[in-house]
Amino acid sequence: ITIEEGKIGLEQIDYMLYSANQHNVRLLLTLTNNWIEFGGMDSYTYHLGGKYHDDFYTNEKIKNAFKNYVKTLLNRVNTYTGVAYKDYVYTNEPRCSGSGRLPSSGKCTLETLMAWYDEMSTFIKTYDPNHMVTIGDEGFGLPKPDAYSYTPYPYSGDGGILDAYERNIALPNIDFGTFHLYTKDWGLPGNDIDSGTYWINAHGDVANKVGKPIIFEEYGIREKEDRSKVYGAWHNACINKGIDAALFWMIAVDEYEDYDGYTLYDSTITTLIDPFTKKLLSLGGSCSPKSSTTTKNKITTTTNSQKSTNDVNTSCFSYPDYPCCQDNIVVYSDNDGDWGVENNEWCGINSSSSCWSKALGYECCTGCSVVYTDNDGDWGVENNEWCGIIC
C-alpha cells in the first residue's frame, strides 16, 4: 500500500490541522476505523488478500501495512506549521465484525482484540513516548452491577462485539479511556437520561479505579426536540463524575446532509454546548473567556534558566487562549527558542533585537536564551510538549 504524502494526500490533513489551530480547535487523530463507510480496516484487509474482517488484527502483512502508515504519521511534520503530529486514537469502535463485504472469521475473541490493542499502543509509544494514545473503543464489557439481576449494558459479547473495558484502559501504553453512547441504537433499558447517566457514571468509576483520564468520545440521540434536556443531563453527569471531556457525534456545516440523524448544525450548537463549556470553565479557578482587549508583552533575554512567577496561585491553571490570574506576571524561560501562541497569533518567540519571529510556529534563534513574559496566562510548546502556563 502506497501512502500519498503530497497535495492529494497527507497535506490535506496538514491543512485541516493548521485550520483547526487557527480557530482554537484541538483535534485527536483517528488512525483507522472499524466501519467500511470511512474506508478503514476492510480497505487494508481486502487489498492485502485477507478474507475476514478480523484478519486486520492477526495477519502480519496487514498489521505491518497499518504500522507503516502509523509510523509515517508519527514522523510527520506539518507542512503548514512545522509542528509534529500528536495525540492519537488508533482506531474507532473496534469489533470482530465490520459493516462491509468481509465477514468475521468466527475465531476472533476478546484476547484477539486485547493483543492488538497492546501491540499497537506499544508500537506507537516506541516511536513517540511523549504524546497521548487511546483505543477509541465504545466502552463495552462492563461487569453486571450488584443492583441488577441482569446486565443493563449493551452488547455483552454478541454481534461480534467483544470487550473488557477495565482491562483495555489499564493497558500500560493506553493513556486515557474512551466510551460512546447511543441509547436507542444499543437498546439500553429505561429512558435516555437515566440509562445514559448510569452508563456515564459506570465508566467514570472504572477510570477513577484505574487512575486514568477518560473522555465521552461519541454520543447522540436522533430526537431533536429532546436533545437540550437529554444532553444537558448527560453533561451534568460528566461534570459530577469527573469525565474529562465530551464530544458530540456529530457537528457539521449546513451543506452536509444529516445521513444518520445525529448531525448538529450551527444554529443548535450554541444552545447545546455553551451551558456545558461555561460549567467546565468555572472549574478552572478564576479563568474566564478572553475579552477583546489585548495586553502588552514584555520580551527580554536571559541566561540559562526557566522561571515561573512571583505570587503563584497554585490552585489556578490556564486553559488554551483563556486568561487566568491576571494580577500575576507569568515568565517563560526557554533556551531552545521554541514558539507559542499570543493573542491568537502563532509566532516564534522573539529572543533578541537581532532575531525576528516567523508566523505559523517556526523556530527562531535557537541558540538564544529566551524569556517570555505574558500577563494573559497563555500557553505554549516546550520540547514538543503542549502545556498550559501555570499562573
Q: What are phi and psi of 210, to 5 degrees?
A: -80, -25
CA dist 86 and 127 (Å) reads 11
Residue 319: CB atoms within 10 A of its CB come to: 19
Rounded Cα–Cα distance for residues 86 and 125 (Å): 11
Question: What grid cell was written down for 215?
Answer: 473522555
**Calpha distance 84→62 (Å, rounded):** 26
How far is 28 from 89, CA to CA, in rounded Å? Answer: 6
- Written as nine digits, the cell of 7 is 497535495
Beta bridge partners of 141: none
Contacting residues for 292 by C-beta, under 8 A, at least 6 apart: none
379-382 and 385-388 strand pairing: antiparallel
Determine contact, residues 362/323, Cβ cutoff 8 Å. no
CB 268 within 8 A of CB 258: no
Whether 249 contacts 220, CB under 8 Å: yes
Helices marked H in 171-226: 183-186, 192-210
Copy the grid coordinates of residue 288. Answer: 474566564
Angle CA(123)–CA(113)–CA(69) in degrees, nearest 5? 35
Active-site positions read: 93, 218
- Residue 59 near residue 50, CB atoms below 8 Å: yes
Lookup result for grid cell 493497558: 171
**In angstroms, what CA-CA distances link 144 with 154, 156, 169, 191, 237?**
11, 10, 18, 19, 20
